[in-house]
């Protein structure tokens, strides 16, 4: 049985997941909780090698099925080596991207069967689902403009506008189908306001699970 809490951050390119993950981790640490931050794809030594194949802009020939299987392979290794052990130790695990990226990118983006991807994920994760998913939503054009500013687009960021629009729609469909797990965060707001929405959502779950007292959140 997991004793920790499993939180994932999801959303399109440029939604600010990395910054918000770091700030959330620091807040949870200040509450006296043990925190473990990680990401997909590419956590750990084996994951880093898989990530290199997946995101290298030179790999133009990578077909969608290979891409989906490599993402799942990365996830299987991550769950076994890092996520499950950290949760069993009672840690607050924050993961930048997880199964919903698979459904949005490989399902809605690439057009692979969502039902098949769901099955694949069940096997790859051995059924490990997040307690809470924070979906950082923002208009497609805003996200793309932010990534352009960063320069050096990876293989996914180089995709066309229509692909990113499908991702957006995919994420919206996931949130609509699973409102208990997925909380939609307005990521077009400024950084502090986004963090405030995130803390409110995480605070609710911490209280519900009895991991902090109400007083601690004031």
Using CB under 6 A as the binding rule, whether residue 131 contacts ligand TMP is answered as no
- With contacts defined by CB under 6 A, name the span among 20-28, 56-64, 76-84, 98-106 that binds ligand TMP: 98-106
Which residues within the stretch 103-122 sit at the binding site for ligand TMP (CB under 6 A)? 105-106
Give the Cα separation of 87 and 34 in Å (integer).
10
CB of 183 to ligand TMP, least distance (A): 19
- Rg of the Cα atoms in the chain: 17
Indicate the length of the chain as a whole number: 218
Residue 180 exposure: Cα atoms within 13 Å on the Cβ side: 3
Compare residues 105 and 171 and give the one whose CB is closer to ligand TMP: 105
Using CB under 6 A as the binding rule, whether residue 41 contacts ligand TMP is answered as yes
Give the Cα separation of 159 and 88 in Å (integer).
38
Which residues within the stretch 69-88 sit at the binding site for ligand TMP (CB under 6 A)? 71
Name the burial class of residue 194, with classes exposed (0-12), middle (13-18) and buried (19+) by CB atoms within 10 angstroms of its CB.
buried
Out of 5, 120, 128, 156, the residue judged to bind ligand TMP by CB under 6 A: 156
Alpha carbon distances (Å) from 61 to 68, 73, 130, 134: 14, 19, 32, 32
Compare residues 20 and 101 and give the one whose CB is closer to ligand TMP: 101
Out of 7, 24, 39, 147, the residue judged to bind ligand TMP by CB under 6 A: 39
Contact footprint for ligand TMP (CB under 6 A): 39-41, 71, 97, 101-102, 105-106, 156
């Amino acid at each position: 049985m997991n004793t920790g809490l499993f939180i994932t951050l999801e959303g399109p390119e440029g939604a600010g997941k990395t910054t918000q993950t770091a700030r959330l981790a620091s807040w949870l640490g200040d509450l006296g909780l043990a925190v473990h931050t990680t990401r997909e794809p590419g956590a750990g030594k084996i994951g880093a090698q898989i990530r290199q194949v997946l995101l290298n802009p030179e790999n133009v020939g990578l077909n969608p099925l290979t891409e989906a299987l490599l993402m799942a392979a990365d996830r299987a290794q991550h769950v076994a080596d890092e996520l499950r052990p950290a949760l069993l130790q009672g840690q607050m695990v924050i993961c930048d991207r997880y199964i919903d990226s698979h459904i949005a990118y490989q399902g809605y983006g690439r057009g692979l069967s969502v039902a098949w991807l769901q099955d694949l994920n069940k096997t790859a994760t051995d059924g490990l689902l997040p307690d809470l998913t924070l979906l950082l939503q923002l208009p497609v054009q805003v996200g793309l403009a932010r990534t352009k500013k960063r320069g050096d687009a990876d293989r996914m960021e180089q995709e066309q506008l229509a692909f990113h629009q499908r991702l957006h729609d995919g994420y919206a469909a996931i949130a609509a189908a699973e409102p208990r797990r997925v909380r939609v965060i307005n990521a077009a707001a400024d950084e502090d306001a986004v963090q405030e929405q995130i803390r409110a959502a995480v605070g609710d779950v911490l209280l519900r699970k009895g991991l902090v007292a109400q007083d601690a959140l004031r």
